[in-house]
Structure 1
Amino acid sequence: MSNPYLIQGPALISFSGGRTSAYMLYQIIQAHGGTLPDDVIVAFANTGKEREETLRFVHECGSRWGVKINWVEWRRGKPIYEEVGFNSASREGEPFAALIEWKQRLPNSFERWCTEFLKVKIMFALVEDKLGLKPGQFVETIGLRDDEGVRILRGMEAAERHGGRVAYPLAKAKVTKKDIWRFWLGDNIDPKNPIHPLPQGFDLGLHPWEGNCTLCFQKGKGIRKRIIRDNPREPAWWIHQEVSQNGWFDKRDLVAELVEQIRANPSFFDADDDMEYDVECGSHCGLEYAA
Protein backbone atom coordinates (compact mmCIF):
# COMPACT_ATOMS: atom_id res chain seq x y z
CA MET A 1 0.00 0.00 0.00
CA SER A 2 1.33 3.45 -0.88
CA ASN A 3 2.22 5.82 1.95
CA PRO A 4 -0.85 8.05 2.57
CA TYR A 5 1.44 10.81 3.81
CA LEU A 6 3.34 11.17 0.55
CA ILE A 7 1.59 14.26 -0.75
CA GLN A 8 1.63 14.94 -4.46
CA GLY A 9 1.93 18.68 -4.96
CA PRO A 10 0.83 21.23 -5.58
CA ALA A 11 -0.92 21.10 -2.22
CA LEU A 12 -2.04 23.16 0.75
CA ILE A 13 -1.69 21.61 4.20
CA SER A 14 -4.37 23.21 6.34
CA PHE A 15 -2.91 23.40 9.85
CA SER A 16 -5.57 24.29 12.40
CA GLY A 17 -3.17 24.40 15.32
CA GLY A 18 -4.62 21.34 17.06
CA ARG A 19 -3.04 18.00 17.86
CA THR A 20 -4.69 16.14 14.99
CA SER A 21 -3.55 18.42 12.17
CA ALA A 22 -0.12 18.71 13.82
CA TYR A 23 0.18 14.91 13.83
CA MET A 24 -0.76 14.90 10.15
CA LEU A 25 1.86 17.55 9.37
CA TYR A 26 4.55 15.60 11.24
CA GLN A 27 3.78 12.39 9.35
CA ILE A 28 3.84 14.20 6.01
CA ILE A 29 7.21 15.76 6.82
CA GLN A 30 8.62 12.35 7.80
CA ALA A 31 7.25 10.73 4.64
CA HIS A 32 9.14 13.32 2.58
CA GLY A 33 12.43 12.71 4.38
CA GLY A 34 12.22 15.77 6.61
CA THR A 35 11.72 18.41 3.91
CA LEU A 36 8.49 19.27 2.15
CA PRO A 37 8.42 19.79 -1.64
CA ASP A 38 8.48 23.41 -2.78
CA ASP A 39 4.92 23.16 -4.09
CA VAL A 40 3.48 22.02 -0.74
CA ILE A 41 2.47 24.97 1.44
CA VAL A 42 1.59 24.78 5.14
CA ALA A 43 -0.77 27.47 6.41
CA PHE A 44 -2.14 28.44 9.81
CA ALA A 45 -4.91 31.05 9.80
CA ASN A 46 -5.21 33.05 13.02
CA THR A 47 -8.62 34.52 13.90
CA GLY A 48 -7.24 36.44 16.86
CA LYS A 49 -9.38 34.36 19.21
CA GLU A 50 -7.09 31.35 19.39
CA ARG A 51 -5.72 30.27 22.72
CA GLU A 52 -2.18 31.39 23.53
CA GLU A 53 -1.34 27.70 23.92
CA THR A 54 -2.37 27.15 20.31
CA LEU A 55 -0.09 29.92 19.06
CA ARG A 56 2.84 28.56 21.03
CA PHE A 57 2.13 25.05 19.75
CA VAL A 58 2.08 26.14 16.10
CA HIS A 59 5.32 28.05 16.59
CA GLU A 60 6.97 25.09 18.30
CA CYS A 61 5.90 22.65 15.58
CA GLY A 62 7.53 24.84 12.95
CA SER A 63 10.71 25.37 14.98
CA ARG A 64 11.22 21.78 16.10
CA TRP A 65 10.39 20.20 12.76
CA GLY A 66 12.18 22.74 10.58
CA VAL A 67 9.12 23.44 8.45
CA LYS A 68 7.86 26.78 7.17
CA ILE A 69 4.37 27.42 8.55
CA ASN A 70 2.75 30.43 6.91
CA TRP A 71 0.78 32.42 9.50
CA VAL A 72 -2.00 34.48 7.91
CA GLU A 73 -4.76 36.77 9.17
CA TRP A 74 -7.78 38.21 7.36
CA ARG A 75 -7.70 41.82 6.29
CA ARG A 76 -10.38 43.90 4.62
CA GLY A 77 -9.61 44.87 1.04
CA LYS A 78 -6.82 43.52 -1.13
CA PRO A 79 -4.84 41.55 -0.37
CA ILE A 80 -7.35 39.85 1.91
CA TYR A 81 -4.68 38.60 4.27
CA GLU A 82 -1.50 39.65 6.00
CA GLU A 83 1.36 37.32 6.81
CA VAL A 84 2.22 37.45 10.52
CA GLY A 85 4.24 35.36 12.95
CA PHE A 86 4.17 34.25 16.55
CA ASN A 87 5.15 37.66 17.92
CA SER A 88 2.99 39.77 15.61
CA ALA A 89 -0.11 37.53 15.59
CA SER A 90 -3.33 39.13 16.83
CA ARG A 91 -4.38 38.05 20.30
CA GLU A 92 -7.40 40.24 21.04
CA GLY A 93 -9.71 39.08 18.26
CA GLU A 94 -8.82 41.94 15.92
CA PRO A 95 -9.30 40.12 12.57
CA PHE A 96 -12.57 38.54 13.74
CA ALA A 97 -13.90 41.85 15.10
CA ALA A 98 -12.96 43.67 11.88
CA LEU A 99 -14.81 41.05 9.83
CA ILE A 100 -17.92 41.38 12.01
CA GLU A 101 -17.81 45.17 11.72
CA TRP A 102 -17.53 44.89 7.93
CA LYS A 103 -20.35 42.37 7.69
CA GLN A 104 -22.48 44.25 10.23
CA ARG A 105 -23.81 40.97 11.63
CA LEU A 106 -22.61 37.93 13.52
CA PRO A 107 -21.79 34.47 12.17
CA ASN A 108 -23.77 31.61 13.65
CA SER A 109 -24.52 27.93 13.12
CA PHE A 110 -26.66 28.84 10.10
CA GLU A 111 -24.16 31.28 8.57
CA ARG A 112 -20.66 30.06 9.31
CA TRP A 113 -18.88 32.62 7.19
CA CYS A 114 -16.34 33.27 9.94
CA THR A 115 -14.46 30.13 8.88
CA GLU A 116 -14.97 30.94 5.20
CA PHE A 117 -13.30 34.36 5.51
CA LEU A 118 -10.94 33.94 8.49
CA LYS A 119 -9.63 30.53 7.45
CA VAL A 120 -10.46 29.20 4.00
CA LYS A 121 -10.39 32.27 1.74
CA ILE A 122 -7.11 33.60 3.09
CA MET A 123 -5.32 30.26 2.87
CA PHE A 124 -6.50 29.89 -0.72
CA ALA A 125 -5.34 33.44 -1.46
CA LEU A 126 -1.94 32.56 -0.01
CA VAL A 127 -1.62 29.58 -2.34
CA GLU A 128 -2.62 31.72 -5.31
CA ASP A 129 0.03 34.32 -4.44
CA LYS A 130 2.81 31.80 -3.80
CA LEU A 131 2.05 29.19 -6.45
CA GLY A 132 -0.23 31.04 -8.87
CA LEU A 133 -2.95 28.42 -8.42
CA LYS A 134 -6.67 28.62 -7.77
CA PRO A 135 -8.91 26.07 -5.98
CA GLY A 136 -9.14 22.93 -8.08
CA GLN A 137 -5.55 23.34 -9.23
CA PHE A 138 -4.10 22.14 -5.91
CA VAL A 139 -5.06 19.61 -3.25
CA GLU A 140 -6.23 20.86 0.13
CA THR A 141 -4.87 18.41 2.70
CA ILE A 142 -7.06 18.29 5.81
CA GLY A 143 -6.54 16.61 9.18
CA LEU A 144 -9.69 14.59 9.63
CA ARG A 145 -9.31 11.17 11.21
CA ASP A 146 -10.82 7.83 10.29
CA ASP A 147 -13.33 8.19 13.15
CA GLU A 148 -14.73 11.41 11.65
CA GLY A 149 -16.40 9.76 8.68
CA VAL A 150 -19.45 12.00 8.39
CA ARG A 151 -17.34 15.16 8.24
CA ILE A 152 -15.13 13.58 5.60
CA LEU A 153 -18.13 12.82 3.41
CA ARG A 154 -19.48 16.34 3.85
CA GLY A 155 -16.09 17.79 2.98
CA MET A 156 -15.80 15.70 -0.16
CA GLU A 157 -19.30 16.68 -1.24
CA ALA A 158 -18.59 20.38 -0.64
CA ALA A 159 -15.31 20.18 -2.56
CA GLU A 160 -17.00 18.42 -5.47
CA ARG A 161 -19.75 21.04 -5.62
CA HIS A 162 -17.25 23.87 -5.81
CA GLY A 163 -14.52 22.36 -7.93
CA GLY A 164 -12.03 21.85 -5.12
CA ARG A 165 -9.74 18.90 -4.44
CA VAL A 166 -9.28 17.49 -0.95
CA ALA A 167 -7.20 14.76 0.66
CA TYR A 168 -7.54 13.09 4.06
CA PRO A 169 -4.30 11.19 4.74
CA LEU A 170 -5.23 10.45 8.37
CA ALA A 171 -8.46 8.77 7.34
CA LYS A 172 -6.61 6.82 4.68
CA ALA A 173 -4.11 5.69 7.32
CA LYS A 174 -7.00 4.66 9.64
CA VAL A 175 -5.84 7.03 12.37
CA THR A 176 -8.21 7.56 15.32
CA LYS A 177 -8.33 9.95 18.26
CA LYS A 178 -6.61 7.35 20.48
CA ASP A 179 -3.64 7.30 18.10
CA ILE A 180 -3.35 11.09 18.27
CA TRP A 181 -3.53 11.12 22.07
CA ARG A 182 -0.91 8.38 22.36
CA PHE A 183 1.45 10.22 19.98
CA TRP A 184 1.37 13.46 21.94
CA LEU A 185 0.60 12.41 25.50
CA GLY A 186 1.61 8.76 25.83
CA ASP A 187 0.37 7.49 29.20
CA ASN A 188 -0.65 10.90 30.50
CA ILE A 189 -4.30 11.47 31.28
CA ASP A 190 -4.35 15.20 32.02
CA PRO A 191 -2.65 17.29 29.29
CA LYS A 192 -2.26 20.21 31.68
CA ASN A 193 -0.57 18.17 34.37
CA PRO A 194 1.46 15.41 32.68
CA ILE A 195 3.17 13.06 35.13
CA HIS A 196 4.98 10.98 32.50
CA PRO A 197 7.47 12.25 29.89
CA LEU A 198 5.81 13.61 26.76
CA PRO A 199 6.63 11.36 23.77
CA GLN A 200 7.46 14.30 21.48
CA GLY A 201 8.94 16.50 24.20
CA PHE A 202 6.14 19.07 23.86
CA ASP A 203 2.37 19.23 23.53
CA LEU A 204 -0.54 21.60 23.00
CA GLY A 205 -1.32 21.58 26.73
CA LEU A 206 -5.08 21.93 26.25
CA HIS A 207 -8.04 19.66 26.80
CA PRO A 208 -9.71 18.64 23.50
CA TRP A 209 -12.69 20.95 24.04
CA GLU A 210 -10.47 24.00 24.55
CA GLY A 211 -9.27 23.98 20.94
CA ASN A 212 -9.11 27.14 18.91
CA CYS A 213 -11.58 29.98 18.73
CA THR A 214 -12.25 30.17 22.43
CA LEU A 215 -16.07 30.32 22.57
CA CYS A 216 -16.90 29.07 19.08
CA PHE A 217 -20.64 28.56 18.73
CA GLN A 218 -19.93 25.10 17.26
CA LYS A 219 -18.86 24.00 20.73
CA GLY A 220 -21.63 22.59 22.89
CA LYS A 221 -23.29 24.77 25.50
CA GLY A 222 -21.80 22.79 28.36
CA ILE A 223 -18.32 23.13 26.91
CA ARG A 224 -18.67 26.88 26.52
CA LYS A 225 -19.91 27.19 30.10
CA ARG A 226 -16.94 25.20 31.34
CA ILE A 227 -14.56 27.45 29.40
CA ILE A 228 -16.24 30.57 30.81
CA ARG A 229 -15.98 29.19 34.35
CA ASP A 230 -12.28 28.43 33.87
CA ASN A 231 -11.55 31.72 32.05
CA PRO A 232 -13.81 34.46 33.52
CA ARG A 233 -12.30 37.19 31.31
CA GLU A 234 -12.98 35.33 28.06
CA PRO A 235 -16.70 36.21 27.59
CA ALA A 236 -16.11 39.98 27.45
CA TRP A 237 -15.08 40.05 23.77
CA TRP A 238 -17.96 37.80 22.71
CA ILE A 239 -20.51 39.78 24.72
CA HIS A 240 -19.24 43.02 23.19
CA GLN A 241 -19.75 41.63 19.69
CA GLU A 242 -23.30 40.47 20.45
CA VAL A 243 -24.18 43.85 21.97
CA SER A 244 -22.59 45.84 19.15
CA GLN A 245 -24.57 43.92 16.50
CA ASN A 246 -27.68 43.42 18.61
CA GLY A 247 -27.45 39.74 17.68
CA TRP A 248 -26.27 36.33 18.79
CA PHE A 249 -23.69 33.68 17.91
CA ASP A 250 -26.02 30.96 19.22
CA LYS A 251 -29.76 31.63 19.17
CA ARG A 252 -30.28 29.38 22.18
CA ASP A 253 -28.21 31.51 24.56
CA LEU A 254 -26.48 34.86 24.47
CA VAL A 255 -22.97 34.68 25.90
CA ALA A 256 -24.08 37.03 28.71
CA GLU A 257 -26.82 34.53 29.57
CA LEU A 258 -24.26 31.73 29.81
CA VAL A 259 -22.27 33.87 32.25
CA GLU A 260 -25.37 34.39 34.38
CA GLN A 261 -26.14 30.67 34.33
CA ILE A 262 -22.66 29.95 35.66
CA ARG A 263 -23.01 32.55 38.39
CA ALA A 264 -26.26 30.94 39.47
CA ASN A 265 -24.94 27.35 39.28
CA PRO A 266 -21.11 27.37 39.12
CA SER A 267 -20.75 23.60 39.37
CA PHE A 268 -23.62 22.55 37.08
CA PHE A 269 -23.01 21.73 33.42
CA ASP A 270 -25.23 20.67 30.59
CA ALA A 271 -25.49 17.20 29.08
CA ASP A 272 -23.32 18.06 26.09
CA ASP A 273 -20.16 18.54 28.13
CA ASP A 274 -18.31 15.80 26.27
CA MET A 275 -17.11 15.98 22.69
CA GLU A 276 -15.85 13.16 20.57
CA TYR A 277 -13.46 15.27 18.53
CA ASP A 278 -11.07 18.13 18.98
CA VAL A 279 -12.70 21.40 18.07
CA GLU A 280 -10.22 22.37 15.36
CA CYS A 281 -11.69 25.30 13.49
CA GLY A 282 -11.26 24.78 9.78
CA SER A 283 -11.16 21.01 10.20
CA HIS A 284 -14.86 20.40 10.55
CA CYS A 285 -17.15 23.41 10.02
CA GLY A 286 -14.70 24.78 7.47
CA LEU A 287 -15.34 21.81 5.21
CA GLU A 288 -18.79 23.16 4.48
CA TYR A 289 -17.67 26.74 4.06
CA ALA A 290 -19.47 27.22 0.76
CA ALA A 291 -22.38 24.87 1.32
Structure 2
Amino acid sequence: MNPYLIQGPALISFSGGRTSAYMLYRIIQAHGGKLPDDVVVAFANTGKERKETLRFVHECGSRWSVKIHWLEYRLDGFEEVGFNSASRDGIPFRLLIDKKGYLPNAVTRFCTSELKVRVMKQFALSIGFTHWHNVIGLRYDEGHRVLRQLAANDAKRERWTTLMPMAKAKHTKRNVLAFWLGENTDPIDLTHSLPQGFDLGLRDYEGNCDLCMLKSRGALKRLMRDNPGMSSWWQDREASITMKSERATEAGRRFTTEYSYADLEREIASQPFMPGLLDDENYEYDAECGLHCAGEAA
Protein backbone atom coordinates (compact mmCIF):
# COMPACT_ATOMS: atom_id res chain seq x y z
CA MET A 1 0.00 0.00 0.00
CA ASN A 2 1.16 3.52 -0.77
CA PRO A 3 2.44 4.96 2.54
CA TYR A 4 1.32 8.41 1.40
CA LEU A 5 -2.31 7.30 1.19
CA ILE A 6 -3.25 8.60 4.63
CA GLN A 7 -6.43 7.47 6.30
CA GLY A 8 -8.34 10.01 8.34
CA PRO A 9 -8.91 11.46 10.73
CA ALA A 10 -5.42 12.82 10.26
CA LEU A 11 -3.53 16.04 10.86
CA ILE A 12 -0.58 16.72 8.55
CA SER A 13 2.01 18.78 10.41
CA PHE A 14 3.56 21.16 7.88
CA SER A 15 6.74 22.70 9.28
CA GLY A 16 7.23 25.04 6.33
CA GLY A 17 10.40 23.32 5.11
CA ARG A 18 11.22 21.35 1.99
CA THR A 19 10.91 17.94 3.59
CA SER A 20 7.40 18.35 4.95
CA ALA A 21 6.35 20.12 1.74
CA TYR A 22 7.60 17.14 -0.28
CA MET A 23 5.61 14.86 2.02
CA LEU A 24 2.49 16.98 1.61
CA TYR A 25 2.79 16.91 -2.18
CA ARG A 26 3.11 13.12 -2.21
CA ILE A 27 0.08 12.76 0.07
CA ILE A 28 -2.00 15.02 -2.17
CA GLN A 29 -0.97 13.02 -5.24
CA ALA A 30 -1.73 9.72 -3.50
CA HIS A 31 -5.28 10.98 -2.96
CA GLY A 32 -5.71 11.93 -6.61
CA GLY A 33 -5.02 15.64 -6.17
CA LYS A 34 -7.52 16.39 -3.38
CA LEU A 35 -7.32 15.51 0.30
CA PRO A 36 -10.30 13.87 2.02
CA ASP A 37 -12.27 16.13 4.35
CA ASP A 38 -10.89 14.36 7.41
CA VAL A 39 -7.24 14.80 6.39
CA VAL A 40 -6.25 18.37 7.24
CA VAL A 41 -3.01 20.35 7.01
CA ALA A 42 -1.74 22.77 9.66
CA PHE A 43 1.20 25.13 9.95
CA ALA A 44 1.99 26.60 13.38
CA ASN A 45 3.60 30.02 13.13
CA THR A 46 5.71 31.15 16.08
CA GLY A 47 6.20 34.66 14.70
CA LYS A 48 9.91 34.00 14.24
CA GLU A 49 9.73 32.03 11.02
CA ARG A 50 11.69 33.41 8.11
CA LYS A 51 9.75 35.45 5.58
CA GLU A 52 10.83 32.87 2.99
CA THR A 53 9.11 30.17 5.03
CA LEU A 54 5.83 32.06 5.17
CA ARG A 55 5.94 32.70 1.45
CA PHE A 56 6.74 29.03 0.78
CA VAL A 57 3.82 27.78 2.90
CA HIS A 58 1.47 30.16 1.13
CA GLU A 59 2.76 29.15 -2.28
CA CYS A 60 2.41 25.42 -1.55
CA GLY A 61 -1.21 25.95 -0.60
CA SER A 62 -1.95 28.12 -3.63
CA ARG A 63 -0.17 26.04 -6.25
CA TRP A 64 -1.45 22.70 -4.98
CA SER A 65 -4.98 23.92 -4.19
CA VAL A 66 -4.82 22.60 -0.64
CA LYS A 67 -6.18 24.33 2.46
CA ILE A 68 -3.39 24.94 4.97
CA HIS A 69 -4.59 26.09 8.39
CA TRP A 70 -2.25 28.77 9.74
CA LEU A 71 -2.27 28.61 13.54
CA GLU A 72 -0.77 30.85 16.21
CA TYR A 73 -0.48 30.51 19.97
CA ARG A 74 -2.58 32.76 22.15
CA LEU A 75 -2.77 32.96 25.95
CA ASP A 76 -6.28 31.52 25.84
CA GLY A 77 -5.51 28.84 23.24
CA PHE A 78 -4.84 29.50 19.57
CA GLU A 79 -6.01 31.65 16.69
CA GLU A 80 -6.33 30.73 13.05
CA VAL A 81 -4.66 33.37 10.88
CA GLY A 82 -3.48 33.55 7.27
CA PHE A 83 -0.54 34.60 5.16
CA ASN A 84 -1.33 38.30 5.41
CA SER A 85 -2.29 38.37 9.10
CA ALA A 86 0.39 35.95 10.38
CA SER A 87 2.78 37.43 12.93
CA ARG A 88 6.16 38.44 11.60
CA ASP A 89 7.44 40.09 14.77
CA GLY A 90 7.51 37.20 17.23
CA ILE A 91 4.29 38.04 19.09
CA PRO A 92 3.16 34.43 19.80
CA PHE A 93 6.64 33.53 21.03
CA ARG A 94 6.89 36.67 23.17
CA LEU A 95 3.49 36.03 24.74
CA LEU A 96 4.62 32.57 25.77
CA ILE A 97 7.94 33.79 27.19
CA ASP A 98 6.19 36.52 29.19
CA LYS A 99 3.75 33.94 30.57
CA LYS A 100 6.51 31.51 31.55
CA GLY A 101 8.85 34.14 32.97
CA TYR A 102 11.95 32.41 31.62
CA LEU A 103 13.45 31.43 28.26
CA PRO A 104 13.43 28.08 26.47
CA ASN A 105 16.73 26.39 25.69
CA ALA A 106 18.01 23.21 24.06
CA VAL A 107 16.93 21.14 27.07
CA THR A 108 13.67 22.89 27.93
CA ARG A 109 12.14 23.37 24.48
CA PHE A 110 8.78 24.67 25.57
CA CYS A 111 8.71 26.90 22.50
CA THR A 112 8.01 23.83 20.37
CA SER A 113 5.80 21.96 22.80
CA GLU A 114 3.59 25.03 23.39
CA LEU A 115 3.76 27.00 20.13
CA LYS A 116 3.55 24.01 17.80
CA VAL A 117 2.57 20.67 19.36
CA ARG A 118 -0.03 21.95 21.83
CA VAL A 119 -1.47 24.43 19.33
CA MET A 120 -1.95 21.69 16.75
CA LYS A 121 -3.53 19.42 19.36
CA GLN A 122 -5.99 22.16 20.35
CA PHE A 123 -6.80 22.75 16.69
CA ALA A 124 -7.45 19.04 16.07
CA LEU A 125 -9.79 18.87 19.06
CA SER A 126 -11.56 22.04 17.89
CA ILE A 127 -12.50 20.45 14.57
CA GLY A 128 -13.95 17.39 16.24
CA PHE A 129 -11.02 14.96 16.24
CA THR A 130 -10.83 12.76 19.33
CA HIS A 131 -8.11 10.36 18.19
CA TRP A 132 -6.17 10.90 15.00
CA HIS A 133 -3.09 10.23 12.90
CA ASN A 134 -0.38 12.86 13.32
CA VAL A 135 1.55 12.92 10.06
CA ILE A 136 5.11 14.29 10.20
CA GLY A 137 7.96 14.56 7.69
CA LEU A 138 10.68 12.42 9.19
CA ARG A 139 12.73 10.81 6.45
CA TYR A 140 14.20 7.32 6.14
CA ASP A 141 17.68 8.75 6.76
CA GLU A 142 16.62 10.13 10.16
CA GLY A 143 16.56 6.72 11.77
CA HIS A 144 17.02 7.64 15.44
CA ARG A 145 14.20 10.17 15.31
CA VAL A 146 11.97 7.65 13.55
CA LEU A 147 12.68 5.07 16.25
CA ARG A 148 11.89 7.63 18.93
CA GLN A 149 8.51 8.23 17.35
CA LEU A 150 7.77 4.54 17.09
CA ALA A 151 8.54 4.21 20.80
CA ALA A 152 6.21 7.14 21.54
CA ASN A 153 3.46 5.39 19.55
CA ASP A 154 3.96 2.23 21.59
CA ALA A 155 3.65 4.24 24.83
CA LYS A 156 0.16 5.44 23.76
CA ARG A 157 0.27 8.54 25.95
CA GLU A 158 -1.35 10.86 23.42
CA ARG A 159 -4.58 11.09 21.48
CA TRP A 160 -2.70 10.59 18.24
CA THR A 161 -0.58 7.99 16.51
CA THR A 162 2.31 9.44 14.56
CA LEU A 163 2.70 8.40 10.93
CA MET A 164 5.96 8.92 9.03
CA PRO A 165 5.20 8.11 5.39
CA MET A 166 8.60 9.32 4.16
CA ALA A 167 10.41 6.89 6.42
CA LYS A 168 8.10 4.07 5.37
CA ALA A 169 8.64 4.93 1.69
CA LYS A 170 12.43 5.05 2.30
CA HIS A 171 12.63 8.58 0.97
CA THR A 172 15.72 10.54 1.99
CA LYS A 173 17.15 14.02 1.79
CA ARG A 174 18.44 13.18 -1.68
CA ASN A 175 14.85 12.63 -2.89
CA VAL A 176 13.75 15.92 -1.33
CA LEU A 177 16.56 17.99 -2.85
CA ALA A 178 16.10 16.41 -6.28
CA PHE A 179 12.38 17.23 -6.13
CA TRP A 180 12.90 20.88 -5.24
CA LEU A 181 16.30 21.84 -6.65
CA GLY A 182 16.90 19.40 -9.50
CA GLU A 183 20.39 20.07 -10.87
CA ASN A 184 20.93 23.16 -8.72
CA THR A 185 23.44 22.85 -5.89
CA ASP A 186 22.68 26.19 -4.26
CA PRO A 187 19.07 27.33 -3.68
CA ILE A 188 20.14 30.98 -3.80
CA ASP A 189 22.45 31.03 -6.84
CA LEU A 190 20.41 29.03 -9.31
CA THR A 191 22.05 27.66 -12.44
CA HIS A 192 19.09 25.63 -13.73
CA SER A 193 15.33 25.94 -13.69
CA LEU A 194 13.54 24.65 -10.60
CA PRO A 195 11.63 21.37 -11.17
CA GLN A 196 8.52 22.61 -9.36
CA GLY A 197 8.83 26.21 -10.49
CA PHE A 198 9.35 27.45 -6.92
CA ASP A 199 11.35 26.62 -3.81
CA LEU A 200 11.91 27.63 -0.20
CA GLY A 201 14.94 29.69 -1.18
CA LEU A 202 16.92 29.03 1.99
CA ARG A 203 20.16 27.18 2.58
CA ASP A 204 20.13 24.36 5.14
CA TYR A 205 21.87 26.28 7.90
CA GLU A 206 19.37 29.15 7.65
CA GLY A 207 16.45 27.05 8.84
CA ASN A 208 12.84 28.16 9.24
CA CYS A 209 13.08 29.83 12.66
CA ASP A 210 15.45 32.73 12.03
CA LEU A 211 17.84 32.42 15.01
CA CYS A 212 16.64 29.27 16.76
CA MET A 213 18.86 28.43 19.73
CA LEU A 214 19.28 24.89 18.36
CA LYS A 215 21.46 26.27 15.61
CA SER A 216 25.16 26.04 16.31
CA ARG A 217 27.24 29.03 17.34
CA GLY A 218 28.83 29.29 13.91
CA ALA A 219 25.50 29.25 12.09
CA LEU A 220 24.04 31.89 14.41
CA LYS A 221 27.02 34.18 13.90
CA ARG A 222 26.89 33.82 10.15
CA LEU A 223 23.18 34.60 10.11
CA MET A 224 23.68 37.64 12.32
CA ARG A 225 26.52 38.87 10.15
CA ASP A 226 24.52 38.42 6.94
CA ASN A 227 21.28 39.85 8.40
CA PRO A 228 22.01 42.94 10.52
CA GLY A 229 19.31 43.49 13.12
CA MET A 230 18.04 39.90 13.05
CA SER A 231 19.21 39.27 16.61
CA SER A 232 17.48 42.31 18.12
CA TRP A 233 14.34 40.40 19.11
CA TRP A 234 16.37 37.63 20.74
CA GLN A 235 18.59 40.08 22.60
CA ASP A 236 15.53 41.99 23.80
CA ARG A 237 13.98 38.82 25.20
CA GLU A 238 17.16 37.93 27.08
CA ALA A 239 17.50 41.47 28.45
CA SER A 240 13.83 41.62 29.47
CA ILE A 241 13.93 38.33 31.36
CA THR A 242 17.16 39.28 33.11
CA MET A 243 15.70 42.56 34.35
CA LYS A 244 12.12 41.58 35.16
CA SER A 245 11.77 37.93 36.04
CA GLU A 246 12.38 36.47 39.47
CA ARG A 247 11.41 33.01 38.26
CA ALA A 248 14.25 32.67 35.77
CA THR A 249 17.29 30.70 36.85
CA GLU A 250 20.66 31.50 35.28
CA ALA A 251 19.87 29.00 32.50
CA GLY A 252 16.41 30.55 32.04
CA ARG A 253 17.88 33.98 31.26
CA ARG A 254 19.55 32.83 28.04
CA PHE A 255 18.42 30.83 25.05
CA THR A 256 21.81 29.11 25.10
CA THR A 257 23.58 28.58 28.41
CA GLU A 258 27.10 29.04 27.02
CA TYR A 259 26.58 32.52 25.55
CA SER A 260 24.02 35.25 25.03
CA TYR A 261 22.96 36.68 21.70
CA ALA A 262 24.57 39.94 22.75
CA ASP A 263 27.83 37.99 23.21
CA LEU A 264 27.58 36.74 19.64
CA GLU A 265 27.01 40.24 18.29
CA ARG A 266 30.11 41.45 20.13
CA GLU A 267 32.14 38.60 18.64
CA ILE A 268 30.94 39.52 15.16
CA ALA A 269 31.85 43.18 15.72
CA SER A 270 35.37 42.19 16.76
CA GLN A 271 35.76 39.73 13.88
CA PRO A 272 34.19 41.33 10.79
CA PHE A 273 35.68 38.70 8.49
CA MET A 274 35.13 35.18 9.75
CA PRO A 275 36.09 32.47 7.25
CA GLY A 276 34.98 28.91 7.94
CA LEU A 277 32.04 29.78 10.16
CA LEU A 278 30.32 26.57 9.20
CA ASP A 279 33.35 24.29 9.24
CA ASP A 280 32.11 22.50 12.34
CA GLU A 281 28.47 22.42 11.37
CA ASN A 282 26.12 19.50 11.19
CA TYR A 283 23.53 21.88 9.90
CA GLU A 284 21.17 19.41 8.29
CA TYR A 285 19.39 19.40 11.66
CA ASP A 286 18.74 23.12 11.33
CA ALA A 287 16.90 22.78 8.06
CA GLU A 288 13.59 21.94 9.74
CA CYS A 289 14.46 22.17 13.41
CA GLY A 290 10.88 22.97 14.36
CA LEU A 291 9.73 19.77 12.75
CA HIS A 292 12.30 17.67 14.58
CA CYS A 293 11.50 19.32 17.91
CA ALA A 294 7.82 18.77 17.34
CA GLY A 295 8.49 15.18 16.45
CA GLU A 296 10.39 14.62 19.65
CA ALA A 297 7.80 16.36 21.77
CA ALA A 298 4.95 14.37 20.22
List per-residue Cα deviations over 1:123-157 (Å, max 9, x = no partner): 11111111x224xx101000011111111122233
Q: Match of 1:123, as an amino acid?
A: M
Q: 8 Å contact 1:46–1:90 — kept in the other structure?
A: yes
> 2:200 aligned with 1:204, yes or no?
yes
State the shift of 1:278 in Å.
4.7
Whole-Å separation in 2 of the counterparts to 1:231 and 1:58:
22
- 2 CA distance for matches of 1:189 and 1:59? 24
Q: Look up the SS of the partner of 1:58 in the other structure.
A: helix
Find the aligned partners of 2:271 and 2:111 in 1 and give their Cα distance: 31
Task: In structure 1, give the amino acid aligned to 2:102.
Answer: R
Runs (5+) with no aligned partner, structure 1: none
Instruction: Give the counterpart of 1:124 among 110, 121, 125.
Output: 121
Q: Which moved more, 1:13-22 or 1:224-233?
A: 224-233
Does the alignment pair 1:284 with 2:292?
A: yes
**Which deviates more, 210-219 or 3-12?**
210-219
Q: Which residue does the alignment assign to 2:80?
A: 83
Q: Which of these residues, 247, 257, 262, is aligned with residue 251 of structure 1?
A: 257
Deviation at 1:215, TM superposition (A): 0.9
**Corresponding position: 1:236 with 2:232:** yes
Counterpart in the other structure of 2:250: none
1:202-231 deviations in Å (ceiling 9; x for gaps): 000000121211111111111111111111
8 Å Cα contact 2:71-2:119 kept in structure 1: yes
**TM-score normalised to the size of structure 2?**
0.92
Matched, 1:145 2:169: no
SS of the counterpart of 2:61? helix
Aligned partners of 2:228, 2:281: CA distance in 1, in Å? 18
Equivalent AA in structure 2 for residue 83 of structure 1:
E
Matched, 1:99 2:96: yes
Whole-angstrom CA distance in 2 between matches of 1:183 and 1:71 = 24
Is the contact made by 2:12 and 2:136 (CA closer than 8 Å) also made in structure 1?
yes
TM-aligned CA deviation for residue 40 of structure 1: 0.5
Match of 1:114 among 111, 114, 129: 111
Q: How much is the aligned-residue C-alpha RMSD, in angstroms?
A: 1.3
Provide the C-alpha distance between the structure 2 equivalents of 1:259 and 1:278, rounded to a whole number of angstroms: 20
State the shift of 1:263 in Å: 1.6
Q: Partner letter of residue 119 of structure 1?
A: K
Which residue identity does 2:267 align to in structure 1? Q
Q: Decide whether the 8 Å contact of 2:54 with 2:83 is kept in 1.
A: yes
- 2:103–2:238: 8 Å Cα contact kept in structure 1? yes
- Residue in 2 aligned with 1:170? 166
TM-score (norm 1): 0.94
Distance 2:185 2:45 in 1: 28
- Tell me the CA shift for residue 274 of structure 1: 3.8
- Cα displacement (A) at 1:288: 2.5
5+ long unaligned stretches in structure 2: 243-252
Aligned length: 284
Question: Following the alignment from structure 1 to structure 2, what is the Cα–Cα distance between the partners of residues 146 and 278?
Answer: 17
Instruction: Decide which moves more: 17-26 or 226-235.
Output: 226-235
- Is the contact made by 1:221 and 1:270 (CA closer than 8 Å) also made in structure 2? no
Tell me the equivalent position of 2:246. none
State the secondary structure of the residue aligned to 2:48.
coil
Partner of 1:17: 16
